[in-house]
Amino acid sequence: MNSSKWEIGPIFRALMRNKVGAVLIAIQIAVTMTIVVNSIFIILERAELMKRDSGIDEANSFYLTTTGFATDFNAQSTTTEDLEAIRNTPGVLDAIQINAIPTSGSGWSMSFQTEAGEGLEDEGAAVYMIDENGLNTLDIELIAGENFTPSDIRWRAPGSPDWPETVIITKALSESLFPDENWQFALGKTIFISSNQPMIVKGIVDKIQAPWVGWSDLEHTVLVPEKTLFNSNRYFIRAEPGQRDAIMPEIEEMLASSNKGRIIRGMRTVEETRERSYRSDAAMIKILSTVMVILTIVTGLGIVGLASFSVNRRKKQIGTRRALGASQSAIVRYFMLENFLISTVGVVLGAGLTIGLNVLLVNMFSLPALDWYFVPAGMLVLWLVGQIAVFGPAKKAANIPPAMATRTV
């Protein structure tokens, strides 16, 4: 390839004679790149969040709340009877009473520390109250120690300030409580809930998320052996694979008719709960993707439009070039190269703007900082968009007959 074919100098000098059009395209490309790169970054970040696993059997589980209102409502007997009935329903794998649902957005949090006393360093953790069927129902794996036994389980009255003697914690919490040790270290140790109540770590589970998906310590979670005696109590039910949708109405009907002194409400699958919790992230992903695609098309069409016009305006010139010996591919190359030069200015400017916007987003909305490789990738994409957009008009230009040169317009 001979370098004289790459008319960078003349193209650049000709462009400088028609700065405005070129500058407009360059700025368009720059702003488009800014939006596209930052959008992709936000999209990937959100997608990453949404991918996180709650640690429980989301696909087959659902939950509901039972609220007693009758004056003779007995929470203990109702819970015992309900769980017995639910567990014996065909299609149910297991069921428990629980105080909160992972990914649901509401739950209990308590502080834990390794030494008793006020004002000491502590770690917040979500609390799930479960019984000995909890691990099986939630489908979480015990990686050290033991599960709760039926005798560990106690009944919690409303407003009760104290806690059971044993606790199962997640590996993540173990690592946070004992940062200098390996995760098994916590097993058998005594930790303190709300400053000074001791609890012995009876087991360590692999993973279960706290209810608040936006929380930074999402895997700081403890399981305590308790059932609640509140007016409103929640059941978490894990169905046999594929049975969930069939047994949901069955269970609801069964519970509603078994005890008229309470209402059954808020029955929902864990999948739906997750969907709701991440809805704004999913929406953001969809909106940004749409914006990105439309924007790229607009910019692309803008380039097509301007290039077509410039081809029309330069018909005679193109004919002359052809007469002077330019082959069709030389004409295509001319327009591609011209666009490449404009795009280059655009993407260089765009790189600056992209980083600028990211810095703004970081400062104003505490978004994470952009990874460096997004910038060159974005530049490459916008270069390509420009080249693809200009190819049509360039082809059209190449088809202008050389005889155009002798035509008097």
Residues 310-349 that bind other proteins (CB under 8 A): 310, 312-313, 316-317, 319-330
Which range of residues in 53-61, 168-176, 375-383, 396-404 is near other proteins by CB under 8 A? Answer: 396-404
Query: In this chain, which of 142, 200, 263, 336 binds other proteins, going by CB under 8 A?
Result: 263
| Closer by beta carbon to other proteins, 155 or else 309 | 309
Interface map 192-231 toward other proteins (x if CB under 8 A): --xx-x--------------------------------xx
Query: In this chain, which of 265, 289, 352, 384 binds other proteins, going by CB under 8 A?
Result: 265
Distance in angstroms (rounded) separating the CA atoms of residues 31 and 54: 38
363 token code pair: 């400062």
Q: Which among 166, 125, 172 is positioned nearest to 147, based on CA atoms?
A: 166
Q: Is 5 in the site for other proteins (CB under 8 A)?
A: yes
How remote is the C-alpha of 318 from its chain's centroid? 51
Which range of residues in 15-23, 87-95, 240-248, 374-382 is near other proteins by CB under 8 A? Answer: 15-23
Distance in angstroms (rounded) separating the CA atoms of residues 311 and 21: 13
343 close to 29: Cβ distance less than 8 angstroms? yes
Strands 262-269 and 197-205: unpaired
Interface map 106-125 toward other proteins (x if CB under 8 A): ------------xx------
Backbone angles phi, psi at 7, to 5 degrees: -80, 50
Apex CA 389: angle with CA 285 and CA 291, to 5°? 15
| Closer by beta carbon to other proteins, 238 or else 321 | 321
Residues 151-190 that bind other proteins (CB under 8 A): 157-161
Q: Which among 367, 343, 340, 342 is positioned nearest to 355, based on CA atoms?
A: 367
Minimum CB distance to other proteins, residue 403 (Å): 4
Which range of residues in 12-20, 89-97, 208-216, 383-391 is near other proteins by CB under 8 A? Answer: 12-20
Minimum CB distance to other proteins, residue 215 (Å): 13
Q: Which among 297, 303, 302, 322 is positioned nearest to 397, based on CA atoms?
A: 322
Residues 342-381 that bind other proteins (CB under 8 A): 361, 364-365, 367
Distance in angstroms (rounded) separating the CA atoms of residues 113 and 91: 41
